[in-house]
Amino acid sequence: MQQATTAPETSYYDYIIVGGGTAGCPLAATLSRNSTVLLLERGGSPYGNPNITNLSAFGAALSDLSPSSPSQRFVSEDGVLSARARMLGGGSCLNAGFYSRAATQYARDAGWEGGLANESYGWVEKVVAFEPPVREWQSAVRDGLVEAGVVPYNGFTYDHISGTKVGGTIFDTDGRRHTAADLLQYADPDGLTVLLHATVHEILFRIKVHLGYTGEPRPKAHGVVFRDASGVKHSAYLKPASKNEVIITAGALGSPQLLMLSGLGPADHLKAHNITVVLDQPLVGQGMSDNPMNAVFVPSPVPVGVSLIEVVGITRFGSYIEAASGENFAGQSSPVDFGMFSPKIGQLSTVPPKQRTPEAIAKAVETMSALNPAVFQGGFLLEKVMGPLSTGHLELRTLNPNDNPSVTFNYFKEPEDLQRCVDGIRIIERIIESKAFSKFKLDYLTVPALLNMTASFPVNLLPKHANASTSLEQFCKDTVMTIWHYHGGCQVGKVVDRDYKVLGVDGLRVIDGSTFNSSPGTNPQATVMMLG
């Protein structure tokens, strides 16, 4: 890895990959075996950063709002706070670590060759996937799921099968995270150049017209312009060969944003920003989706160890049940941090989405910091809607690739998404009331009381509607958060073909979560790495 400031003003490669994330790293590794590859990453290196490496520090990177943070916060137009990665290894540097493959049917629908997909998953798993420890609290959730009817119990498996299972994790037995950047160990170092703090500003196109050719001339990608940390401009070009390509792996926000900044997108929108239109492609930025997540905090009468996601219930009605626990809600760190459900990282279900202002977050952090740590003993049971069916769109706000685009997800616009949330919360109620979970529940707290929990609890699930515990629909809408599985914007069949080639231009592909029509498996990272 080297800093982009060391790069020459002009360079030439067989492949140029934009975005060193969960898809970009494995892609660069495999292509480097037979070609020269330039991998451009706008963030820094994950190595030597304990906030990324250590399981116990989960949430620290997400709550770091500094310009050099590995995470960049954004707020959707729906009012839900979220984050995007800015680091070699991408989202695998920030997430809760759960590793689980897509369903066989998902792979079939995507047109992936089954044997090749399985081989690619195996290639990823050799380096980054582990079996989690599953201690007492996660075991209680697992047994509670089975008691609640999420059957059969399928044991430990990476496969997506209906029922309850223990999935993989990218945290090893010492609690150390292994990110997609680790997949670069498969690369041929002679074939790969990795530049850090390299922000791509545009893809360069030229119009190719053959002699005697009468059709519409097609734009062909032939390079990119990027800037280093000092703001100095560099150009990287493809060597002249028919197979050479620019490949965009910048994520569900970054990829459609970069296509638009480069002149590929809805013509009217591009013209409004004074961008020269290379190709009028109205579907760039469409089909944006984010799987809604809703959680219930369950205070425990006994101390609970730290665990991120280890167990999942794959229901037959389209909801996934997962859980996280432990001292990282009160934490050894001061001021108090709350892991996956911290207001510091924007997971603030205490107030309805549109009211989640910086002031509201600051107030929540302050309130929580003043509380007795015993209050935070316990864990969260969460529910994620599969799909989802509701979609929105993405638009440019500025011409600066470092700025977040504007994105709308339209959570629960489709009634089926809302029904799946309600059904998922009902399963969570059954887990809380199960025999298996009884040790970790305070007898006097009924499920409605948990749903309408008082303000003294960390993520006070008291929405602004007094009937939250009686109307689960209202509860779902008011307490919606992200589980960071947003996708779409460059979808297969709309913006790219089944080989991920951008329609209407040559020499350009997009390979990442922006191409998905729905989120793969219970958690997408395994499939994004496999795809790369």
pLDDT digits (tens, 9 = 90+) for 369-419: 666 566 667 888 999 999 999 999 999 999 999 999 999 999 999 999 999
Residue list, annotated binding site for FAD: 200, 484-485, 513, 524-525
Q: What is the C-alpha to C-alpha distance for residues 270 and 268, in angstroms, rounded to an integer?
A: 5
Strand partners, 296: 381
| Separation in Å, CA 78 to CA 271, 406, 482 | 26, 10, 11
Token pair of 108 as six digits: 């079939």
Q: What are phi and psi of 222, to 5 degrees?
A: -135, 5
Quick one: average pLDDT of 493-502? 98
Q: Please give the share of the chain, as a percent, with pLDDT higher than 90.
A: 75
Q: Among all chains, which residue has been given the structure tokens 């025999």?
A: 435
Q: Among all chains, which residue has been given the structure tokens 């089926």?
A: 416
Quick one: average pLDDT of 507-531? 98
**Do 469 and 445 contact (CB within 8 A), yes or no?**
no
Residues with catalytic roles: 485
Sign of the four-CA dihedral 510, 515, 519, 520: negative
pLDDT of residue 208: 73
Q: What is the C-alpha to C-alpha distance for residues 342 and 54, in angstroms, rounded to an integer?
A: 17
**Which tens digits make up the pLDDT trace of 291-349?**
999 988 888 888 888 899 999 999 999 999 999 987 544 334 434 455 566 666 666 66
Question: Given pLDDT bands bounded at 50, 70 and 90, which one contains residue 17?
Answer: very high
**From 54-63, 256-265, 512-521, the region with the lowest mean pLDDT:** 54-63
**Which tens digits make up the pLDDT trace of 357-378?**
777 777 777 766 666 566 667 8
Q: Among all chains, which residue has been given the structure tokens 């793969």?
A: 520
pLDDT of residue 57: 87
- Residue whose C-alpha is closest to residue 505's, from 201, 205, 202: 205
**Which tens digits make up the pLDDT trace of 185-218?**
999 999 999 999 999 999 999 987 666 666 778 9
- Residue whose C-alpha is closest to residue 423's, from 315, 522, 349, 341: 315
Token pair of 303 as six digits: 């101390």
Pairing label, strands 81-85, 71-75? antiparallel
Q: Check pLDDT > 80 for residue 224.
A: yes
> Cis (ω within 30 of 0) for the bond into 301?
no
User: Which H or E run includes 195?
Assistant: strand 192-196
**From 191-205, 221-235, 350-364, 514-528, the region with the lowest mean pLDDT:** 350-364
In sequence order, which ranges of 159-306 are alpha helices (DSSP H)? 251-261, 267-272
In sequence order, which ranges of 129-208 are alpha helices (DSSP H)? 136-147
Sign of the four-CA dihedral 145, 306, 299, 350: negative
Cα-to-chain-centroid distance, residue 301: 33
Task: Show contacts of 368-376: CB within 8 Å, 24+ apart.
Answer: 368/336, 368/338, 368/343, 368/458, 369/335, 369/336, 371/336, 371/456, 371/458, 373/330, 373/336, 375/299, 375/330, 375/456, 375/457, 375/458, 376/299, 376/329, 376/330, 376/336, 376/338, 376/458
What is the overall mean pLDDT for the chain? 90
Taking residue 207's Cβ as centre, other Cβ atoms within 10 Å add up to 11
Quick one: average pLDDT of 461-476? 63
Cα-to-chain-centroid distance, residue 481: 13
Q: What is the C-alpha to C-alpha distance for residues 102 and 314, in angstroms, rounded to an integer?
A: 12
pLDDT of residue 462: 35
State the number of CA atoms in the 13 A half-sphere of 81 facing the CB: 25
Residue list, annotated binding site: 200, 484-485, 513, 524-525
Question: Given pLDDT bands bounded at 50, 70 and 90, which one contains residue 488?
Answer: very high
Rounded to 5°, the CA angle 261-263-265 comes to 90
Token pair of 218 as six digits: 């097609």
Q: What is the C-alpha to C-alpha distance for residues 87 and 355, in angstroms, rounded to an integer?
A: 30
Q: Check pLDDT > 60 for residue 460.
A: no
Q: Check pLDDT > 70 for residue 456.
A: no
**Which tens digits make up the pLDDT trace of 102-145?**
999 999 999 999 999 999 999 999 999 999 999 999 999 999 99
The SS3 assignment for 520 reads: coil
**Do 2 and 198 contact (CB within 8 A), yes or no?**
no
Length of the chain measured in residues: 532
- Write out the DSSP string of 456-486: TSTT----SSTTTTT-HHHHHHHT-EE-S--
